[in-house]
Amino acid sequence: MRNRILIVEDQPDIRKLIWMTLEFGDYELHEAENGDDGWRKAQAFRPHVMLLDVMMPGSMDGLQVCAKIKSDPALRDIRIIMLTARGQKTDIEAGMAAGADAYLIKPFSPLELMDRVEQFLSAPDRRAA
Amino acid sequence: MRAFFNTLKDGVAVVDGQGKVQFANAAGNRFAALAVGEPFPEPRVLAGLADLVAGRARAPLAINLADGVAGTRGALLSPLPIPGHYALTLNAGGESEAFETAIRNLFDFIDSEVGAPIERFARGLEEAFEEDSVPDALAALFEDARAAASLLKRTKMLAELFRTTTLIDRERLPLAAMVRDVLDAEAEVIGDREIQVHLDGLDEELPPVYGSRPWLTRAMREIVDNALRQCPPKSNVGIALQCTGAHVIVKVTNHGHFRPAALASLPVFVPFHRIAQYVKEKRMPKKPVAGRPTEIPVGGPGLGLALCQRIVALHGGRLQLPEEDTEGLVEVRMELATGAPAVDDEALNIEQAKRYAHDMAALMHRMRAARGATLRAAGA
């Protein structure tokens, strides 16, 4: 069974680049374009890893989706990598407070993205530093 | 025909193939002091004409003159039905454009030239008061000066708002914390006037709102300050946070001197809209009638809500004064759109694509290695 990854990102170009990067691995990929869609697909597909943009239009941003997932017993094992455009300390702290397992600052290195994903898939219980 | 051309605000000139002026209307003469029989006095127009005549450019040919011929933004060259003659239209800057420029210049002037003295003046007054050495006779004068300083500071703030775009930010706003910040800042007014503040919805989970925390807190404070000062002492002021679909609403209510319908009829979002009334009241103060609310309260010159509206509008939200009169309850609503602003950051996309291209070879190498290992395992 292939590992499932859900990409939640509102910017189509960035979403496409993440998708293309992850296609180098052997994953089952899903995508969502906003927080509400991401929350629905997380429930539907139960991904192993979720790449979640912090700032998104709509009634839920990445931080709220993350907090909801981590407070849901059925979903809390999903490993969440937050994507932030600014990398400000407050954003990162807010992400970690919401329960995120790791974060990547845009523009991020696709190799680093792959490494992070592999890290979680190979050691699912290990939280990132 | 000449009389007709002279009524036009745009300059019109007819030139021959060499650029010699054959005709110019009044506006054209004003812009460029054209003389019939002389070459048009702008090299860029002559160069454009030469290109047109030689077939190197297509008609109509637009020429940018923004930094050249006085009062014009550009010129348009077109051939006329008379062989070898060309019409040249000089575009006048529009009246609204001139007005906007004048206003921008005024605000630039206030912010850059007047701002610092205003701040020093206001600070000096405060310090003088603190020293407690002001003779009684000067106390009233100081009060007036203090009020003037406060107005000048607000004017400076308006100028700053109008001339800057940096007040727009994409920070995630903790609205409940901002309300608490505002109440802390207004603690003195609340205490002095013995106002009961009722809070609602501060603990509810609201959709995220993004913007500039300092500026939106300032707008919120202005609204709350208005509500606190315009209501009778020992009365109630309510602050509620609500969500209605795509908006989060900060609702501030009071039982004040305002009458909602009368308030709604005023141009409250126009800066200084109350100046005329303000001056009138200063000269002939009204005698208050017991038990009867004043329709237009004695207050500032009408700048606070205008500032708030500007701040909120720049964040894609809106400020509203509903007209419904519920037993004199006045409500001010600050509506802010939920969710992060949808932005397509081209620079970020390009940078991300560069990173992708940079890592492509390594990714492909890694994928080939993984496939090779899979094949070898299968072969073994």
Q: Give the model confidence (pLDDT) of B14-43 as tens digits.
A: 889 888 988 888 777 766 677 788 888 888
| A96 contacts chain B (CB < 8 A) | no
The verdict on ipTM greater than 0.90 is: no
| A21 contacts chain B (CB < 8 A) | yes
CA distance A103 to A83: 6
| A11 contacts chain B (CB < 8 A) | yes
Query: pLDDT tier at B197 (50, 70, 90 boundaries)?
Result: very high
Chain A residues near residue B366 by CB distance under 8 angstroms: 24, 114
Angle, in degrees to the nearest 10, between helices B95-109 and B136-163: 130
| Residues in chain B whose Cβ is within 8 Å of chain A | 170, 172, 207-208, 210, 245-246, 338-342, 344-345, 348-349, 351-356, 358-360, 362-364, 366-367, 370
Q: Do A106 and B352 touch (CB under 8 A)?
A: yes
CATH number of the A3-122 domain: 3.40.50.2300
Q: Do A24 and B367 touch (CB under 8 A)?
A: yes
More confident residue, B148 or B161: B148
pLDDT at B167 over 60: no
Answer yes or no: are the C-beta atoms of B209 and B248 closer than 8 Å. Answer: yes
Question: How many other CB atoms sit within 10 Å of the CB of residue B183?
Answer: 17
Mean pLDDT of chain B: 75
User: For residue B249, which phi and psi values (nearest 5 degrees)?
Assistant: -115, 130
Q: Do A59 and B246 touch (CB under 8 A)?
A: yes
Closest-approach residue (CA) in chain B for A35: B339
For chain A, strand residue ranges (E) read 3-8, 27-32, 49-53, 79-84, 102-105
Distance from CA of A55 to the nearest CA of B (A): 5
Question: How many other CB atoms sit within 10 Å of the CB of residue A51?
Answer: 28
More confident residue, B316 or B162: B316
Closest-approach residue (CA) in chain B for A15: B349
Query: pLDDT tier at B222 (50, 70, 90 boundaries)?
Result: confident
| pTM reported for the whole predicted model | 0.58
Query: A40-94: per-residue pLDDT in tens?
Result: 999 999 999 999 998 888 788 899 999 999 999 999 999 999 998 765 667 778 8
CA distance B185 to B95: 43
Answer yes or no: are the C-beta atoms of A123 and A3 closer than 8 Å. Answer: no
Q: Do A59 and B351 touch (CB under 8 A)?
A: no
Q: Averaged over A5-20, what is the pLDDT?
A: 90
Distance from CA of B356 to the nearest CA of A (A): 6
Query: B268-309: per-residue pLDDT in tens?
Result: 666 655 555 655 565 555 555 554 444 434 455 556 777 788
Distance from CA of B332 to the nearest CA of A (A): 23
Q: Which amino acid is at B259?
A: R
Chain A residues near residue B363 by CB distance under 8 angstroms: 21, 24, 110-111, 114
| A85 contacts chain B (CB < 8 A) | yes
Q: Do A107 and B351 touch (CB under 8 A)?
A: yes
Chain B residues near residue A108 by CB distance under 8 angstroms: 352, 355
| A99 contacts chain B (CB < 8 A) | no
Check residue B294 and give its pLDDT.
44
Distance from CA of A6 to the nearest CA of B (A): 19
Check residue B295 and give its pLDDT.
41
Answer yes or no: are the C-beta atoms of B36 and B65 closer than 8 Å. Answer: no
